[in-house]
A and B are shown apart, each in its own frame.
Chain A
Amino acid sequence: MAPKRKAAAKPASAKKAKKPAPKKPASPRGKAKPAAAAAPTQALDFATYADPEEGFVTFEGLEVLADRLGIDASSDTKLLALCWRLGAEKPGALSEEEWDRFASSPHLPTHGKPLTVQTLKAGWASLDPNFLDNAEFRPFFKFCFEFNREGTKRFLERDTALALLPLCIEDRSKHTLNFLEFLETKPEDFKINRDQWCSFLDFSLAVGPAPEFDGWDSEESSWPILIDEYVEFVQEKLKET
């Protein structure tokens, strides 16, 4: 999520640098913040959160929502799950049509109930991705990648991936720590593409943890070369210890 990117210097600054102008529209909302805390029955309407110039709800709008819900936008995956259930197609943006699914989507706590922050807050826990089984989780994991891209780019920057991956995958993978260590050996401008991202999940589900890597076949591996390199990296590391 965007706030997390503030911790990683480059991508965040790049993102911020892109649109300096909209900061102005942000401030009126900023003023509204303290007032919002006092009014939990605030309506979940598109106009409140959307960026008027863009015509979309952007990361900033989501931050506001997060604030009102009392959650940390940078670490709460339920926010991502929310965007996923709303069917967000563009990275980092929700259209009005998508926003309207607050009412129509059966997966959301606001389905058939008053469209307020209160309702959403009450049913917030139901959005937890941990409830999803592996088959349902796959599309969500893919969405995490898609939603955090920059514009039409087909990849994630290394640092973004480093922050995002552990957050999204949680404990579904026993390879996470090793993989992050491996990613850090890559140069800063290293990029991860969709195939590599999604394959990480599939790999985690199919292949056992180090050092055995049960289910791993080095000769006929159809995994992306990045995964092959990762396994070699861990094996080399274990040889040295």
Chain B
Amino acid sequence: MPPFCHLKNCTGRAHTFVQASQISPRNAYNLVLHKHGDLLYTGIQETVRTRLRSVMEDVIRSPDDQLLSQVCVQWKEHQVTMVMVRDILMYMDRTYVPQSKKMTVYDLGLWAFRETIVRHELVRERLRKLLLANIRSERLGQLIDHNSMRCALNMLTELGGDGSSIYEEDFELFFLEDTCRFYRCESRLFLSEHSCPDYLRKIESRITEEMKRVPNYLHASTRPKLKHIVEHELISAHASTLIGSKKIGFSTLLKESEYKMDDLRRMYALFLQAPATLDMLRTALYEHARTAGRLLIIDQIKEPIGFVRSLLALRTKYKKVVYIAFQRETLAQKKLKEAFDSFLNADIRCASSLVAYIDELMRTGFKGSTESEVEHELDKVIVIFRYLQDKDIFEVFYKQYLAKRLLNRRSTSSEAERQMLAKLKSECGYQYTTKLEGMLTDIRFSRNTMEKYAAHQDRLPPTSEVRSNASGSESDTKESCDMEVTVLTSGYWPPQSIVSCAIPSHAAAAAGDFQSFYLEQHSGRKLTWLTGSGTAELKASFSATAKHELNVSTYQMCILSQFNKLNCRAELSLQEIIDVTKIPHIELKRHLVSLCTPKHRILQKKSKGKGLSNDDSFQVNELFLSKLKRIRVPLVAMREITPHPHQTDHIPAAVQEDRRHLCEATVVRIMKARKQAKHNDLIAEVTRQLNQRFYPQPQSIKKCIESLLEREYLERSSQDPRMYIYLA
């Protein structure tokens, strides 16, 4: 029936009723005025009740499929009727009712309706069951009449008051229970038969549906309770399954995060509605990242370059997950950082791998890259650097690699080197990079010095006139040689061995010339020639036709020059070589063997096999053959020499020593400022100050404190042994 029709009928019937009861405003007024209010009141009470009783008969007899609409119709009619009655009896409402503390007419009507009809034993439960059945049908996909639902539920709401909520007691309670049961069942069933992403999609739609139910016909107060139940049954109850399940649970999704980003995003959005479960999700993310990292280390750490590349890829992957799926949430970012922190700092080789990776970039990786590409790569590297706790270990390795690069001229771009140092400086402060920058500056200055030296040489008269053999000594004509010198400031560079050997005369002459030039420019300085490094280019004639240019190390130059003074067939014994060149034994072996390898047999040695025997002797290999004109002789690796820094997983001794000094200095500095401090405070402050560089173990700090106690820099307070006092 169209709604207006309904109302009209209601009003019509109401009118009839009122007329039938013979109440008019005037009568009512008079009755009350003459103190017959109670008569009027009782009268109207009775009238209303009688009416409702007959209504009830109708309602009871309605079959189930009509009950709901019947109730709604009756309710509407009742409302209209009571409004009319109330209007008529307004005077009574205002005077008699408050005096005698009775319910107002309208309320009276409500109460009567409630007791007579709604709470009638043949109505109450039936009504409720119908309401719930409707909801259930709707959940199962059928359409229901929202109007009647809304009407009925509004009715229940209005019938409440005076302390009890009919809506809650007669409907909501049961509704919530029903909902709970329904979803518990459905979710369990669905989850057991479907994959997690499918399940997530399903509950996403279910939640939307449920929330729509509130504006559709439920009372607004039900909303939070409904939400809570739905979230609990659909999300919280299954959270751990969703995270850990093999049927494409969270962990699996993470593995394939490239393709499953949508599902991850949905999962996060859903879990967001039940905040307690979010922590589980974050923890799962942390665990996953950490495990992946650990596995990566086990798998690939032996190949540092590959390792770092995979590491960067890993980080990008998880970063994407956090940004897209987790909506850039700070807590998730934090968890990710913790995960990377934990596995990267569990193994020192990560620091050295990163250094090796940067080395590769500097040597070859940056060839042909634009400045912004370089910047981009270095930024990625710095991100990893930030995770490292032991930044001082990184520095030691970086210095070693940088030195090698600079001295062997392997760096693609000095601009890139500078950029890297600038980034390190902004991370750790200028003190961190002073030495490294000093190394770069040394190279630049050396180049300037060489330019000046070249200019200086040009101004000198030709060498052949200067060197005269007037004395008739046996010194051979000193043919000078060209020499390029790099001057290193000793404090900046990694420690180099300073044992020097005897270099051939022409090299010595060139060195001497440079030295006097340099010392003239910078008086007060001392130059030490590092014969352990450096290369030389020798023109070698093995026969009339076989002429080659050999690129060899300084030591090798010394060894080979010895053969110049002798006949071509002559032999030199190992001992003789040692005696003349004064090269340290271990190094000598290495450089000598490199000259005798099958590939570059410049010298022939007596003994067979790879090694050298103590009474070995050598001669120039006349039959030396090579296709190349210019040959670079590589150095063989000797295993006795210290292993590649990358292979150790202990903290280098130099770093440990360094840390001890830093720690002690920090303790003294803090105590000097504070004069006294409690043990815990001191430890905390020392840790805080050193943290930028490395993480000091509390036990090591304690050792430093004890050492300082023994040396009487500090003492314990006599009142409190936990307090230290600074001794000036």
Contact = CB atoms under 8 A, between A and B. Distances in A.
B703 A225 contact: yes
B716 A220 contact: no
A17 to B, nearest CB: 26
Nearest to B703: A225
B582 to A, nearest CB: 41
A43 interface: no
Nearest to B702: A225
Contact of A199 (B678, B699, B702, B721): B721
B55 interface: no
Contacts of B437: none
A124 B41 CA distance: 113
A193 B710 contact: yes
Interface in A130-182: 138, 154
Interface in B264-292: none
A47 interface: no
B680 A220 contact: yes
Contacts of A213: none
Interface in A183-207: 193-195, 198-199, 202-203, 206
A222 interface: yes
A230 interface: no
A222 B722 contact: yes
Contacts of B107: none
B718 A138 contact: yes
B442 interface: no
A206 B703 contact: no
Contacts of A30: none
Interface residues of B, number: 13
Contact of A222 (B680, B699, B718): B680
A206 B710 contact: no
A22 interface: no
A200 to B, nearest CB: 11
Majority DSSP secondary structure for residues of B touching A: helix
B680 A195 contact: no
Contacts of A220: 679-680
Contact of B716 (A193, A195, A206, A225): A195
Interface in B672-702: 678-680, 699, 702
B718 A195 contact: no
A84 interface: no
B706 A195 contact: yes
B679 A222 contact: yes
A112 interface: no
B434 to A, nearest CB: 35
B709 interface: yes
A103 to B, nearest CB: 29
Contact of B709 (A138, A195, A202, A203): A195
Contacts of B710: 154, 193-195
Contacts of B703: 225
Contacts of B679: 220, 222
A223 interface: yes
Interface in A216-235: 220, 222-225
Contacts of A225: 699, 702-703, 706
A220 B699 CA distance: 10
B296 to A, nearest CB: 33
A63 to B, nearest CB: 31
B680 A224 contact: no
Nearest to B722: A222
Contact of A223 (B678, B699, B721): B721
B278 to A, nearest CB: 31
A225 B705 CA distance: 10
Contacts of B678: 222
B207 to A, nearest CB: 46
Contact of A206 (B680, B699, B718, B721): B721
A213 to B, nearest CB: 16
Contacts of A206: 721
A220 B683 CA distance: 10
Nearest to A194: B710
Nearest to A142: B718
Q: Which 9 A-B pairs have the closest CB atoms?
A: A222-B679, A222-B722, A202-B721, A195-B709, A193-B710, A220-B680, A224-B706, A225-B702, A225-B706
Interface of A: 138, 154, 193-195, 198-199, 202-203, 206, 220, 222-225
27 contacts: A154-B710, A193-B709, A193-B710, A194-B710, A195-B706, A195-B709, A195-B710, A195-B716, A198-B716, A199-B716, A199-B721, A202-B721, A203-B721, A206-B721, A220-B679, A220-B680, A222-B678, A222-B679, A222-B680, A222-B722, A223-B721, A224-B706, A224-B709, A225-B699, A225-B702, A225-B703, A225-B706
Given A193-B710, A202-B721, A223-B721, 17 more contacts: A138-B718, A154-B710, A193-B709, A195-B706, A195-B709, A195-B710, A195-B716, A199-B716, A199-B721, A203-B721, A220-B679, A222-B680, A222-B721, A222-B722, A224-B706, A224-B709, A225-B702
